[in-house]
Amino acid sequence: MSAAAPPHRGAAPSVASGDASPVVFATREERSSPDPKRSEEVSAQRTEGALSAEAFADLAGATPAQVADLERFRQMLVERNAVMNLVGPATLPDFWNRHAWDSAQLIKIAPDALTWADLGAGAGFPGLVLAILGKGRPGFHVDLVESMAKRCRFLSEVVEALDLPASVRHDRAENLDLAVDIVTARACAPLWRLLGYARPYFKRGALGLFLKGQDVASELEEATRYWEYEADIVASLSDPRGRIVRVRRLGRARKV
- What lies within 8 Å, CB to CB, of 232 at 6+ separation is 26, 27, 28, 29, 30, 245, 246, 248
Strand ranges (E), the chain: 8-9, 26-27, 29-30, 115-119, 141-146, 166-170, 182-186, 207-212, 227-235, 243-253
Q: What is the dihedral of CA 179, 185, 189, 195, to 10 degrees?
A: 40
Query: pLDDT at position 10, please?
Result: 38
Query: pLDDT at position 255, please?
Result: 77
Q: Which amino acid is at 256?
A: V
Q: Which amino acid is at 175?
A: N
Question: Which tens digits make up the pLDDT trace of 92-110?
Answer: 999 999 999 999 999 999 9
Domain annotation for the chain: domains and CATH numbers = 26-253 (3.40.50.150)
d(CA 189, CA 186): 8
Confidence of residue 253 (pLDDT cuts 50, 70, 90): confident
- What lies within 8 Å, CB to CB, of 160 at 6+ separation is none
Selection from 219, 222, 211 nearest residue 184 by Cα: 211
d(CA 199, CA 214): 24
- Give the 3-state DSSP-derived string for 81-99, with helices as H, strands as E and coil as C: HCCCCCCCHHHHHHHHHHH
User: Percent of the chain having pLDDT more than 70?
Assistant: 80
Question: Which tens digits make up the pLDDT trace of 235-247?
Answer: 999 999 999 999 9
Q: Give the Å distances, CA to CA, from 4 to 7, 31, 193, 239.
A: 8, 9, 27, 20
Is the CB of residue 152 less than 8 Å from the CB of residue 80? no
Question: Which tens digits make up the pLDDT trace of 185-208?
Answer: 998 999 999 999 999 999 999 999
Transcribe 232-249 into DSSP letters. Answer: EEEE-SS-TT-EEEEEEE
Core vs surface per residue 74-111: b (16+ CB within 10 A) or e? bebbeebbeeeebbeeeebebbbbbbbbbbbbbbebbe
Is the CB of residue 181 less than 8 Å from the CB of residue 204? no
Question: Which tens digits make up the pLDDT trace of 30-89?
Answer: 654 455 454 455 555 554 458 999 999 999 999 999 999 999 999 999 999 999 999 999
